[in-house]
Amino acid sequence: MTKIVRFTELGGPEVLQITGCELDSPGDGEVLVDIEAIGLNRAEAMFRTGTYIEPTRLPARLGYEAAGTVREVGQDVSRWSAGDPVSVVPAFSMNDYGVYGEQAIVPARALVPRPVDAVTGAAVWMPFLAVYAGLLEPQILRPGDTVLITAAASSVGLAAIAVANRIGAQPIATVRTGEKVQQLRDAGAAHVIVTEKQDQVEVVRDLTGGRGLDVVFDAVAGPAVEQLADVMVPGGTIVIHGRLSGEPTLYPTQTMPDLIMRSFTLFGMTYDTERLRRAAAFIGAGLRAGDFTPHVDRVFEGLESIVDAHRHLESNTQFGKIVVKV
């Protein structure tokens, strides 16, 4: 028997339950992984509450991202062998697989090599893959560009700052309150805008000498998109990767046709073996060079802490990634 986390009803963190489960052997194209650490993502809280991009089928498992060691491989799996240290990335539906547990069966395509410790391996991939898929693979962010990163204290926002610095772009971070300003500067933000105290449009005009932004990497969406459109360079791009505002996002027609807006899902890349290979190569190089060190806000010990970890996730007080060590 192995312990896993599951839930039988939608709701808050308290619906998460730890239960014993007898896992089958991995099937064709699958791998059984001994899980050492789990990285938490906001998508999992949304899946738990029934507000994710796909309906939740109950009873449900949970979890996209983890680090561990291969225990057993199924038929038609040639790349991996028992004993390989790996990370699990989001290349599946949580209606089919979940990594919250002592062990998990996942598709072999969802594994990448893990050249780092388990906590780092559980914290690095989701944020940096999101930035790569949103900004680098489509060749949106270039050296010399000025990029505004909203909700920059999130793990994805911090990864965007690191990527911008690695390729020679200038990252401007936004954060709602002033509590995390110094942390964002220490993380490499060239400038930090506190949105509850400052008008981000006016600050951007001042910082760029009136030139404007080449790129916005936006986790908030909603009405602020129309405001940011006013400070984009001609042909600039707004990439929306989240909807923290919870409000409708209107295309800012006053800027047409000199504005590009783009949205994406991570799965378009992670389901494609070749695209994921290229992304993993870029992120792996950043890890080896020391440029991509994930910011871990807090490490919770044991599966028994999963409810508290989800409560912390929903508190919005974290700076970077939340990890649960199994």
- pLDDT classification of 258: cutoffs 50, 70, 90: confident
Q: Please tell me the pTM assigned to this model.
A: 0.90
Q: Are residues 258 and 132 in the same domain?
A: yes
Q: Are residues 135 and 11 in the same domain?
A: no
pLDDT tens string 48-98: 999 998 999 999 999 999 999 999 999 999 999 999 999 999 999 999 999
Report the sign of the C-alpha dihedral through residues 313, 64, 131, 111, in that order. Answer: positive
With tokens 């963190």, the residue in question is 13
277 within a domain of the structure (yes/no): no
Residue 120's contacts (CB-CB under 8 Å, 6 or more residues apart) are: 67, 287, 293, 294, 296
Point out the domain boundary residue: 263, 282, 313.
263
269 within a domain of the structure (yes/no): no
Over residues 267-289, the mean pLDDT reads 91
Over residues 27-35, the mean pLDDT reads 97
Percent of the chain with pLDDT over 70: 99
Domain of residue 141 covers 127-263
Q: Are residues 259 and 300 in the same domain?
A: no
284 within a domain of the structure (yes/no): no
Q: Are residues 304 and 316 in the same domain?
A: yes
Q: Are residues 249 and 311 in the same domain?
A: no
Residue-level pLDDT at 293: 87
Mean pLDDT of the chain: 94
Point out the domain boundary residue: 224, 243, 263.
263
From the list 174, 90, 86, 189, the residue with the least C-alpha distance to 130 is: 90
Q: Are residues 139 and 73 in the same domain?
A: no
Indicate which CATH number applies to the domain containing 107.
3.90.180.10
83 within a domain of the structure (yes/no): yes
Residue 305: count other Cβ atoms within 10 Å of its Cβ: 14
Residue-level pLDDT at 208: 95
Instruction: Yes or no: say if 192 and 173 are a contact pair by the CB < 8 Å rule.
Output: yes
pLDDT tens string 110-158: 999 998 999 999 999 999 999 999 999 999 999 999 999 999 999 899 9
Q: H helices within 149-217, ranges in order?
A: 155-167, 181-186, 200-207
- pLDDT classification of 206: cutoffs 50, 70, 90: very high
40 within a domain of the structure (yes/no): yes
Q: Which helix (H) or strand (E) holds 71?
A: strand 65-73
Joined together, the tokens standing for residue 116 give: 């780092």
Point out the domain boundary residue: 248, 263, 278.
263
Tell me which range, 106-110, 153-157, 269-273, is most confidently predicted by mean pLDDT. Answer: 106-110
288 within a domain of the structure (yes/no): no
Q: Are residues 216 and 143 in the same domain?
A: yes
Q: Are residues 134 and 252 in the same domain?
A: yes
Residue-level pLDDT at 245: 77
Total domains in the fold of the chain? 2
- Name which of 54-63, 202-211, 220-229 the model is least confident about: 220-229
Residue 289: count other Cβ atoms within 10 Å of its Cβ: 9
Residue-level pLDDT at 253: 77
Does the structure show a pLDDT above 70 at 255?
Answer: no
Show the beta-strand stretches assigned E in 80-212.
Answer: 85-88, 103-107, 111-113, 146-149, 170-175, 191-194
